[in-house]
Structure formats: C-alpha cells, structure tokens
Amino acid sequence: MEYKFLRNGVEETVKPELWRWEAYFNDNTVLKQFGDDGIFHQVGEIDQSKLAVFKMVSNELPQIYAVPFDGSTMRLIHKYIQTKLNFGTPEFREVRSYVFGYKTKNLPENHQHLLIIAPNNEAIVCGDENIIDFE
C-alpha cells in the first residue's frame, strides 16, 4: 500500500516503513505516521504541547515501544540513520536504524534520552546514537 503526502501542494506517494510512529494526545486523539485514511504524516505535524505518548509500532513485528511524553519539559526526537556499509563489495548492505526519544528542555543540547531500533530490530537505550557500531 502507498500513502499520500502533500509537499507544498504537490501530491507524493510514500511507501510504509517497517517501524512507524503513532502519537497519542491528551485529548484522546491519535495521529499516525501512516494514517488509517491512507495519508502520510511528518513528525513535524505532531503538536508536542498535547502529546501524551509517542509509540513506535510495526505491522510485521509484535513489539511496541512507547515513550510517555510531557510537552512542557520534553522535545521530541525522531529520525532514521541510513548507512551504506562496505560500499562496492560483495558484503555491501544498506541498513536503517530508527531513532526516537526526547531532549529535556532547559538542559544542555546533548542531554537526551533515546531508543534506537537497530537494523536487527533490537532496541537499544542510550543517550547518544553515535555509540552504535554498524559493523
């Protein structure tokens, strides 16, 4: 299934991710990255002032990772790290890690709490995504 996304008024199609976010708000509403209505949403569309729980879920795997969220003290982090390893060799592989968590407001920029879903789908809790050795 492909999802629709409007970028500057131009429709694009987006294919689903293995891991996708879901944002649960204080008013009992939910915003899903890949919406049930076929619409794709960017993380920037999340109203963090109302965010209660940020989840990462998968249609193919049973695990659910949830981060309780308080918009008054936290700033949401969500990104992918894409790596091309052993480029140009028979051992070449392209791997994707899902990084999410939060920074604590009013603390140094590097004060963050992260969950990383590694390419093998194991979750790693850390404060710095650069500790991951992709080899």
Kindly state the smallest distance separating residue 81's Cβ from another protein, in Å: 6
Instruction: Residue 96: count other Cβ atoms within 10 Å of its Cβ.
Output: 14
Q: Which residues, in sequence order, are bridge partners of residue 31?
A: 23
Residues 65-94: x where in contact with another protein by CB under 8 A, - otherwise, as a string: -------------xxxxxxxxxxxx-x---
Under rule CB under 8 A, residue 120 binds another protein? no
Comparing CB distances to another protein, the nearer of 27 and 133 is 133
Q: Give dist(CA 52, CA 96) in Å, integer.
A: 27
Q: How far is CA 103 from the centre of its chain?
A: 14
- In three-state secondary structure terms, 115 is strand
Minimal distance, residue 113 CB to another protein, in Å: 18
Between CA 37 and CA 55 the distance in angstroms is 19
Residue 36 interacting with another protein (CB under 8 A): no
Locus of tokens 């899903």: 32
For residues 94-113, which are near another protein according to CB under 8 A? 96
Phi, psi of 38 (to 5 degrees): 85, 10
> Applying CB under 8 A, does 121 fall inside the site for another protein?
no
Q: Pick the piece of the chain touching another protein (CB under 8 A) from 4-12, 24-32, 53-61, 117-125.
A: 4-12
Is the Cβ–Cβ distance between 4 and 11 less than 8 Å?
yes
Work out how close the CB of 27 gets to another protein at its nearest, in angstroms, rounded to a whole number: 24
Q: Which residues bind another protein (CB under 8 A)?
A: 3, 5, 7, 12, 14-17, 33, 40, 42-44, 78-89, 91, 96, 130, 132-135
